[in-house]
Each structure stands twice: as C-alpha cells, then as structure tokens.
C-alpha cells in the first residue's frame, strides 16, 4: 500500500516522512490515556494502550512501506476497534452478555489476522478488502452503540464533547478519502501549492478522535456504575475522567 506522499522525499531513511511523523500523535494520546486513567478498569487501559500500539505500527509501515510492517499497522487497528466495541457494548452496571462475547470478539480478531497474514504480499487486494471490511463493520457496530449512549446524555457539556469528537472524526475521514482518491489533484494543486499531506492530518484527527471517544465511553461507564464522574483538564489541555468512588479493576 502506498499513499499520496512522495516516497523518500524528505529523508533518505524514511519512505513517508510526514505520515510517519504524524503517527507519533497516536503513541502520545495512547500513553496519556493510560497514564491519566491508570486506576480505571483494564478494558479502558487496553483500549487506550492499543491506540499507542497502532501508532508504533503506523510509523513502522509508513517509514518503510513493507508489507509485513503494514500488517503491524492494520492488525492492531482491528484489535483496537474490537477493544472499543467491547467497552461500548458492555457499558452497563451489570454484565449484559456471557463469556461467549469477549471470546467471540477475540475470535473475530484472530480470524481477521489469519486471513490478512495468509493473503500476504501475493494477494494485496484480498488483504485490502478483508481489512477494510472487517474494520469498517466494527466501526459501524461502535457507532450504533454510540448513538444509543448519546441519546441518554443529559449533561450539555458532555453532549458538546460528543459532537466535537464526531466532527473531528468525520473531518479526518474526509481527509483520508481525499488523499486516497484524489492524489493526482493533491499533487498538482494550482499556484504551485504543495501536497497538503492530508493523510498525515488524518493521523492527527484519528488520534484525537480515538482518545476522545474512548474517554467519553469511559465517562459513560462510570456514570452507569454510579461513580459520579467528572471531566477535568490536565495541563489545561487534555480532558480526562475522574470519579468520586474508586473504580473496581475488573475487566
């Protein structure tokens, strides 16, 4: 897979410099998420942590454009969205589904991994279709549950945060599509303008959006547990959830 950024244009050692550099944002928001919510349930630590792992894989892939390292980018994305899906669906104060549910999620991820790796560089189209379809399906599952969560929100500030999160995610997705589908136009802008590197901006938007949606699902879970959550700001820049009752570290 190759993106719109010119290869080895900035550095002899890095294939896509800006796409690699922007991936650092995922690592940062993932680490910050784990740090600021260290006392929360393991499901949220896993979800925040998975964002950082996606960032590491993204750097490896965009820095080399090698297929094995592309898998280090795409496979963690699948598991990251699966972790978020679990948080969205099992968000009540009681367990909605039995042990079969997390097992099914794990099997979904395992099956996707086997097909992606099995396709290898010899069938890139199969790998592309399997990744896109499996990831997109889970995104739709997550979005369907986010709609339900949003419908029950009474706090105006939290509703506003959800709207902001949706706007950031949608804008980032538009950037991804423009970079992917209109590359020739991006490479030949009028007035001598250079490539705006929209895939790099997708990385930034996806990083912030992933952090915020995980944060807000975490807030919703704390509300359902009766823990009176509050949204506070660390360093005057990063929102995070605090609760009045100590979390149980169950999964």
Q: How far apart are alpha carbons 20 and 62 in whole angstroms? A: 5
Give the residue numbers of the binding site. Answer: 2-3, 5, 7, 16, 62, 199, 203
Q: What is the C-alpha to C-alpha distance for residues 75 and 112, in angstroms, rounded to an integer?
A: 8
Binding site for Zn(2+): which residues?
62, 199, 203
In the annotated binding site for Ca(2+), the residues are 2-3, 5, 7, 16
């Amino acid at each position: 897979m190759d993106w719109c950024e010119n290869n080895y244009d900035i550095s002899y050692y890095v294939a896509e410099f800006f796409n690699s550099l922007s991936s650092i944002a995922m690592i940062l928001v993932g680490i910050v998420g784990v740090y600021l919510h260290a006392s929360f349930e393991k499901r949220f630590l896993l979800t925040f942590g998975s964002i950082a792992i996606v960032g590491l894989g993204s750097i490896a892939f965009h820095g080399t454009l090698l297929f094995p390292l592309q898998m280090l980018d795409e496979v963690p994305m699948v598991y990251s969205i699966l972790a978020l899906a679990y948080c969205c669906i099992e968000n009540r104060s009681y367990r909605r589904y039995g042990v079969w549910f997390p097992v099914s999620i794990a099997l979904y991820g395992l099956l996707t991994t086997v097909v992606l790796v099995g396709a290898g560089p010899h069938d890139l189209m199969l790998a592309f279709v399997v990744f896109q379809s499996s990831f997109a399906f889970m995104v739709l599952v997550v979005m369907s549950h986010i709609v339900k969560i949003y419908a029950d929100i009474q706090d105006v500030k939290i509703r506003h945060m959800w709207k902001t999160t949706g706007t950031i995610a949608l804008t980032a997705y538009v950037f991804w599509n423009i970079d992917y589908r209109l590359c020739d136009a991006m490479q030949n802008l009028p007035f001598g303008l250079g490539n705006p590197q929209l895939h790099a901006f997708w990385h930034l938007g996806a990083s912030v959006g992933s952090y915020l949606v995980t944060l807000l699902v975490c807030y919703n879970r704390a509300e359902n547990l009766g823990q009176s959550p509050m949204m506070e700001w660390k360093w005057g820049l990063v929102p995070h959830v605090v609760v009045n009752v100590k979390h149980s570290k169950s999964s």
